[in-house]
Amino acid sequence: MKRAISLQKWLDKTLNDGDVSEIEYSYENRQEVGRGAFGVVYSALYDGKKFALKSFTDGVMNKETTDGINKEATDGMNKEATKGFIKEFKNLHAINSHPINSHPNINKFYGITRDPETNKFMLVLQFANGGNLRQYLKKKWNN
């Protein structure tokens, strides 16, 4: 039987192993640039440079609600979103850990941070100006 792991414990282990950096939250001028079923993407400045911060829906990345993926207080969507976060996190980490990780169509993954106001974890990514994939495809195929 596969045991559910607490998201908090999983992140703590990943950070302690040194595989991923936890970045102190020192971002300014945070502005929402996109929203999806599982989260929100913001642009924000750090030391004059623009980054993307990807936050996840309430109950997914909030420390108070992640004692375990099977916690009764989380509904099915939150369980799926939590699993989705872990999958995305692992994929980004694997891609960016590869010796050839400088492909122009893959956003750089820098680490994670925690919003001090909401206590939510956020992925810290390279900011890609130009919209999301859906917008790109719509523009490309409508012309």
Binding site per annotation, positions for ATP: 54
Q: Tell me, what's the pLDDT at 70?
A: 39
The class (CATH top level) of 7-142 is alpha beta
Domain ranges, ordered by start, for the chain: 7-142
Binding site per annotation, positions: 54
Select from 118, 67, 112 the least CA-distant residue to 85.
Answer: 112
pTM for this predicted structure: 0.70
Taking the C-alpha atoms of residue 131 and residue 105, their distance in angstroms, rounded to an integer, is: 13
Q: Tell me, what's the pLDDT at 65?
A: 40
Phi-psi region of 47 (alpha: psi -120 to 50; beta: other; left: phi over 0): left
Q: Tell me, what's the pLDDT at 38?
A: 72
